[in-house]
A and B are shown apart, each in its own frame.
Chain A
Amino acid sequence: MNAPALSGEGVAPAAGAGELESGQMATKGSILEVADLGAAYGPFDALFDVTFAIGRGQAVALVGANGAGKSTVARVVTGLVPATGGRVIFDGEDITNRSAHDIANRGIAHLTEGRSVFATLTVEENLVLPFRRALGRKAVPRALGEAYERFPRLGERRGQSAGTLSGGEQRMLALARVLVLRQPLVVVDELSFGLAPVVVEEVYAALTQVLDAGTSLLIIEQHVERALELAHQVVVLTKGRVAYDGSVAAVRGRLGDLVLGRGNEMPESAGPAPDSPG
């Protein structure tokens, strides 16, 4: 049991992002390995034996129909939903069913579906909150400066509550945190959901920056084509199971069928994502 502490000072500072990055390079070259993962919401099983891996610096697109369990995979990886079976290995360490804050401090960021910033806090508070924890109090002003430099719009709105930002600005705010902290792995869940096409471009440009900075990505995206542009590898989920795991090139053309869980009887149609919003 932790000693009850009212202030943040009493706690050992969390591992900084840089430290994590350099640690344990000895493992196979996967930043994340998921093996035989199972998960459930109460009595409802959501995942069955999900297995895949993400290489260092690589981007993996996780696609599937609505309710296939994409978000659940993301939530289990970052500790929001408990795993009922299997293992999650991050950077060579077993992090299965560790608490979400522990996993976050180890270096996995999770941009959740929908809003992933605190609407009631100001832009600056949204940044200060994770910065102070990850970098220590002294480094906060410099980190803020860096964030505002990358996204000047956020600097202009630093005193505004994040709930009043546009959807795109909210995504920028979430990405700013990731960019500054340089976390080794970022899980992005429906980053483009509800955004205007122009804004989607902007957000994806920022996400590309994140990838170029050496961060690995797990991308869940309804605009499958867009995710595939960025991804090195695709994992298709169907009803909570992995239906395909492999290269992007090999899957082109039959992705729609895989997602819908159909065999190969359909003519090829690489078309738009079957799980378009509705």
Chain B
Amino acid sequence: MSQLLSFALPGVPYGCVFALMAVGLVLTYKASGVFNLAFGAQAFVSALTYVSLIDGGWPRWAAAVIAVLVIGPVVGILLDRLLFRRIRTASPLVTLVPSLGLLVALPQVAIMVVGSIPVIPPPALVGNAQRVYLHLGSVPVSGLELSVTGATLVVVAGLVALFRFTPVGLEMRAVVESPRLTELAGIDSSRIGLAAWILSSVLAGLAGVLLAPLYAQVDPQNFTVLLVWGIAGAVIGRFTSLPLALVGGLALGIGQQILAGYLPPGVVANGLRPSLPFFVLLIFLPLVGTSRATDPLAGCDPPTSAVERAVSGYRSGATAAAGGSWESLAGGAVTSVGVWHRRLDGAAPTPLADRFTRRPTATLALVVGVVAVISALTWVPPDWLFTMNQALAVSIIFLSLTLLTGMSGLISLCQATFAGLGGFVAGQLAVHFGLPVMIGVIAGGLLAALLGVVVAIPTLRLAGLSLALATLAFALLADNILFPVSWVGNGAGGVTVPRPSAGPISFAAAKPFFLLSLVVLGGAALVVKLVGDGTMGRYLAAVRGSELASSSVGIDVTRLRVLVFAISAGLAGVGGAMSGSLEGSLSPDAYGYQVSIVLLAVVAIVGIGSISGAIVAGVVYEVLQQAVTTLPARFAGLVAVLFGLAALSYTRHPEGFLDVLGGRAERVIERARNRRATARQGSGSVPPPTGGPVVAQAGGMS
């Protein structure tokens, strides 16, 4: 008993913080419809503020007040006003991408504002973090544990009082059930939503400040890791129940410490504890009802079906088929089978040459592509050639998301895991068995595909946000259990991946490797195009529209889903192997779950709906990172900031900026053509050019 207690007690502060996170997540999710993954970033911002102020000589209580009650709410209000308020009814991908972007960008912005992370160990809120104040039985209780538990108890009591006894608490509970019914009672639900955001942000800030002393130094990484625990707590509360979320968070915190206490040391055992959230999510996510099930007025929202409407590039067949009566939505979804086909290649039977004259941007893209390839093989300096090589490799990984998320509407936050596995397999086979690297690349792809199947099967019932969270947790599991194993990722040591050769031809040098990468990327693009154009693509479009309607016309949704996961994971694996071979070695860090987050957000922002979107995303991603290295060190966070801004603008252009730019450019060219045609006809009065501002706009896009 005392042993159990001695294991459980150190878990209490963790549990308290997880509980606060879970409650904060549920609060905003219910009150504003957004699952705020940026919560971890908000916690970090407050923790950083707290530590920085103390470093600057402020008393602890004052620093805490500023960090929790000022900075926290300010960030929350900004997020609500500028972003989340506008996307409450958007599709899962559209709500997810901005919060993923913020999760990555917000800490970098905060660090840039503060200057640098203070190196002092963060002190506890009250008392001395390390000192033992009392004993429970024989178990010592430190100041840290006391202050965290105390603060949490105060907050929980405050929350109970708020929700039970105050008008705003009552209104908040009403909004949580149905914002529209609340509006009909004459209450401004967006104002209450803002109050919920403020409250949630205060919880985020408090969680950050309380967590800070658990680590030697504040670090954004720790906060994202812990966020996953908060998510698991929120899922235990089924995204709806605040008390359950609270209990869930607390149980997780204590449970993981008990688990750690009783498990024997070893890679798997050490990995099991951080993977607990995955198992919790897997068990509890299927129990989560759809978020709007309890809102009797959900019917007021326009129908959103998966990425169907978000990625407006795939002009929804449902719209045309339904012909204004949206009751035939299901029928429309099935009809959209035929529409996907038209989209991917413009117009199916059009001759190639015709297509280029009809779509001038395609000509432009071709010219840019050819120039880029010729440049790479002639005058580009080595470091930039390396960047171009990286761009090709990462484009392959992006293509895997085009297939999975763009075409199929399945949101995956573990693509980097697949990529990593592919790379490790290629390296391990080459180093330990002396197999040719190209064989290893293929084997890596196959094994990654197998892993894709492993992920697909337990998550078959999940969609949208739930699938995203489950895959995120899976990525975390792989990071902790799979990658540290010596015969996979080899932990911190990483794996060496040689450059490939085929008989007498060596691809070791940069230029031959570039050509090889080009071929592999071409192959990957071909796979995606064939899948998209073929029967499978039509099935995928149908399933994306409506899973139910698809299965009712005889599409085997389960098989399709497993298959698309496998192909996508395979592509990612090949991309990861190529990337590893390029770099020469591969460490698990390079394919951690944060990378998956960034990958999804980047390709969504650029354009997840097309093959060209994936390739441009690869180029933009790598070139920007390389470009920043030429700038002074203090601009290191610039990419993250740009990325965050792009993620924010994403809500307005869910089809991706490539489509937006392309559309604008084509309109400009079209207008110029028309003008020329009018002038030639000699109709005398040429209308004043209207293309000017549009050109300026297009040029101004970042």
A contact set with B: CB distance below 8 Å: 1-2, 4-9, 11, 14, 40-46, 66-67, 71, 75, 78-81, 99-101, 104-105, 109-110, 112-121, 125, 128-130, 132-134, 137, 177, 239
Contacts and interface: CB of A to CB of B under 8 A. Distances in A.
A2 B191 contact: yes
3 smallest CB-CB distances across A and B, nearest first, come from A42-B302, A44-B326, A100-B183
B511 interface: no
B309 A101 contact: no
A7 B166 contact: yes
B695 interface: no
Contact of B184 (A40, A41, A78): A78
Contact of B178 (A5, A66, A118, A134): A118
Contacts of A66: 327
B514 to A, nearest CB: 44
Contacts of A120: 173, 176-177, 294
Given A43-B319, A101-B186, A129 B174 contact: yes
A246 to B, nearest CB: 26
5 contacts: A42-B326, A43-B319, A118-B178, A133-B187, A177-B185
Contacts of A42: 302-304, 309, 326
B439 interface: no
B188 A4 contact: no
Nearest to B296: A115
B186 A5 contact: no
Nearest to B297: A112
B170 A121 contact: yes
B137 interface: no
B545 to A, nearest CB: 13
Nearest to B180: A80
Contact of B325 (A67, A115, A130): A67
Contacts of A177: 185
Contact of A7 (B167, B180, B188, B324): B167
A147 to B, nearest CB: 14
Given A41-B302, A112-B297, A120-B177, A104 B171 contact: no
A97 to B, nearest CB: 13
B183 A80 contact: yes
B171 to A, nearest CB: 7
B183 A104 contact: yes
Q: Which of A8, A78, A101, A104 counts the most B-chain CB atoms under 10 A from its CB?
A: A101
Interface string B600-634: 00000000000000000000000000000000000
Nearest to A7: B168
Nearest to B167: A8
Contacts of B195: 4-6
A129 B294 CA distance: 19
A112 B296 contact: yes
Contacts of A5: 191, 195
B322 interface: yes
Given A4-B195, A121-B170, 16 more contacts: A4-B77, A4-B194, A4-B198, A5-B191, A11-B188, A41-B303, A41-B326, A46-B326, A67-B325, A67-B327, A75-B300, A100-B184, A112-B181, A120-B177, A125-B170, A134-B186
Q: Which of A5, A44, A45, A104 counts the most B-chain CB atoms under 10 A from its CB?
A: A44
B177 A80 contact: no
A104 B184 contact: yes
Nearest to B305: A42
A130 B324 contact: no
Contact of A100 (B167, B177, B180, B325): B180
B184 A44 contact: no
Interface in B145-179: 166-168, 170-171, 173-174, 176-178
B81 interface: yes
A79 B168 contact: no
Contacts of A115: 296
Contacts of B194: 4
A14 B186 contact: yes
B189 interface: yes
A67 B327 CA distance: 7
A44 B325 contact: yes
A129 B178 CA distance: 13
B170 A129 contact: yes
A155 B296 CA distance: 25
Nearest to B199: A6
Contacts of B81: 1
A7 B170 CA distance: 11
Contacts of A45: 324
Contacts of A105: 186
Contacts of A99: 183, 188
Contacts of A134: 186
A237 B384 CA distance: 66
Contacts of A7: 166-168
A242 B186 CA distance: 30
B316 interface: yes
Nearest to B176: A120
Contacts of B300: 75, 80-81
Nearest to A109: B184
A132 B170 CA distance: 11
B188 A101 contact: yes
Nearest to A48: B324
Contacts of A239: 325
Nearest to A134: B186
Interface string B309-333: 1000000100100101111010000
B174 A118 contact: yes
B77 A118 contact: no
A267 B189 CA distance: 50
B237 to A, nearest CB: 14
